[in-house]
């Protein structure tokens, strides 16, 4: 009897990431966090985020909640839906549909999916909001702010093949990404529509994965009020070519290419990535390069880590005409074409102190060099100097 009671109690303690009844699984992930910086001159934000942190502590920067339900019809067909609540392009919490897909298992190595899914743009793009699945407190903003595209409606395949002690993976995706663009210093939040084609290839040996990815999009934004003003003004002042270079209606072809390494070897944990954004035709979006490198060393259930990241513009695809005078319009054009730049260092620790819960503490030292870097609401001339951001989060899955 005593044993039975213990067994029942032990069973009720099971906190696994899925509860399954009749093929239906309900699970979730989330982060509760607080962060602040040491300046009131600009706000530190995540990629495409409308409200970040300045010199008072706030919970909106990192806190989120994802709920997922999936249903297995049989061994071949399943459906998955996921909603994510967080502060994104609006200063208040919003909930968006991040997964809504049907998965068909073709054989042991190949899966096809149809519906809404995460984009594989960079190494951690499709799980960047799952704090528990990551070592770093937040995706390095230098890399991940290169694109506002997170999900797409479309189709993809995932192929997995083992060869000797190697595992090879391939993911190919075609779809249309839609979303909003937060624009610092303006009240409008234009929408975008971006047909995408992407391919990601991975090679894994032991617990180290090397991954390369390439994504091409035709990026369109019709209701971009600020940009459309410039485009119209250029057309009205006789700069027809520049006007068509600067518009995002019709869309412009942009490519993202990345190579990344992630995994563990003995007690050493690494995650390192280089990624670039390149215009394939004249567009107002600048070409950029970004990279980061994180290394950690596991001691029991503690994982202290250090990361360095860098992001800079590498030019514009738009040639300015020789007779382009210096006036308000030309400085507006130059302002749009110039990319921000910054580097940062992060020092942190992840502590897996309880089942399904991890505590992270991270200090970031951010050095904006052009246009306040990735910070928003900075001074007109751009913020210089070092900004320190301190954060603590609890990441959990259930």
Q: Do residues 367 and 373 lie in contact, with contact meaning Cβ atoms separated by under 8 Å?
A: yes
Cβ atoms of 389 and 342 within 8 Å: the answer is no
Q: 3-state SS string over 85-97?
A: EEECCCCCEEEEE
* Residue 348, both tokens: 């942190």
- When asked if residue 66 is in the footprint of other proteins (CB under 8 A), the reply is yes
Q: Residue 149 interacts with other proteins (CB under 8 A)?
A: no
Alpha-helical runs (H) found in 177-292: 225-236, 240-246
DSSP string across 7-19? HHHHHHT---S-E
**Contact (Cβ atoms closer than 8 angstroms) between residue 213 and residue 258:** yes
Selected from 55, 91, 206, 236, the binder of other proteins by CB under 8 A is 206
**Residue 142, φ and ψ in degrees, nearest 5:** -60, -40
231-244 burial code (b ≥16 CB/10 A, e <16): bebbeeeebeebbe
- Per rule CB under 8 A, is residue 126 in the interface with other proteins? yes
- Give the nearer residue to other proteins in terms of CB position, either 232 or 301: 301
Exactly one of 35, 50, 117, 285 binds other proteins (CB under 8 A); which one? 117
CB of 70 to other proteins, least distance (A): 7
- Considering beta carbons, is residue 11 or 328 the nearer one to other proteins? 11
Give the residues across from 204 on adjacent strands: 167, 209
Q: What is the largest CA-CA distance in the chain?
A: 92
Residue 144 three-state SS = helix
Binding mask 13-42 for other proteins (x = CB under 8 A): xxxxxx------x-x-x-------------
Our finding on whether 85 is near other proteins (CB under 8 A) is no
Nearer to other proteins, 67 or 197 (CB): 67
CB of 266 to other proteins, least distance (A): 8
Which one among 39, 43, 177, 204 touches other proteins, defined by CB under 8 A? 204
Question: Which residues lie near other proteins (CB under 8 A)?
Answer: 3, 6, 9-11, 13-18, 25, 27, 29, 66, 68, 70, 72, 78, 80, 82, 99, 101, 103, 108-109, 111, 113, 117-118, 126-127, 130, 132-134, 158, 160, 162, 165, 167, 204, 206-207, 264, 266, 301, 352, 354-356, 358, 397
């Amino acid at each position: 009897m005593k044993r039975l009671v213990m067994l029942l109690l032990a069973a009720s303690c099971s906190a696994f990431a899925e509860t399954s009844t009749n093929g239906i699984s309900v699970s979730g992930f989330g982060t509760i966090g607080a962060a602040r910086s040491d300046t009131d001159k600009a706000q530190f934000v995540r990629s495409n985020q409308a409200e970040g942190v300045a010199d008072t502590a706030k919970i909106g920067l990192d806190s989120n909640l994802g709920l997922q339900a999936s249903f297995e019809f049989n061994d071949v067909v399943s459906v998955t839906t996921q909603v994510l609540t967080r502060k994104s392009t609006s200063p208040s919490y919003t909930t968006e549909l991040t997964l809504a897909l049907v998965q068909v298992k073709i054989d042991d190595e190949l899966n096809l999916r149809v519906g809404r899914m995460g984009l594989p743009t960079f190494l951690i793009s499709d799980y960047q909001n799952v704090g528990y699945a990551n070592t770093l407190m937040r995706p390095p903003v230098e890399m991940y702010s290169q694109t506002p595209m997170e999900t797409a409606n479309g189709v993809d395949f995932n192929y997995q093949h083992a060869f000797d002690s190697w595992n090879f993976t391939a993911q190919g995706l075609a779809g249309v990404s839609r979303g909003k663009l937060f624009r610092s210093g303006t009240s409008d939040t234009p929408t975008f529509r971006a047909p995408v084609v992407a391919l990601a290839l991975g090679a894994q040996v032991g617990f180290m994965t090397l991954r390369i990815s390439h994504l091409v999009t035709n990026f369109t934004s019709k209701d971009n009020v600020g940009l459309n003003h410039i485009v119209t003004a250029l057309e009205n002042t006789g700069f027809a070519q520049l006007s068509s270079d600067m518009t995002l209606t019709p869309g412009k072809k942009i490519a993202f290419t990345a190579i990344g390494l992630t995994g563990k070897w003995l007690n050493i944990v690494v995650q390192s990535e280089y990624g670039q954004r390149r215009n394939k035709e004249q567009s107002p979006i600048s070409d950029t390069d970004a990279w980061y490198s994180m290394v950690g060393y596991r001691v029991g259930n503690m994982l202290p880590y250090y990361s360095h990241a860098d992001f800079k513009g590498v030019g514009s695809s738009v040639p300015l005409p020789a007779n382009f005078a210096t006036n308000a319009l030309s400085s507006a054009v130059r302002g749009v074409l110039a990319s921000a730049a910054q580097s940062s260092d992060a020092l942190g620790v992840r502590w897996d102190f309880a089942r399904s819960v991890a505590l992270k503490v991270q200090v970031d030292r951010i050095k904006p060099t052009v246009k306040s870097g990735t910070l928003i609401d900075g001074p007109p001339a751009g913020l210089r100097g070092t900004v320190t951001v301190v954060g603590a989060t609890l990441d959990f899955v259930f």
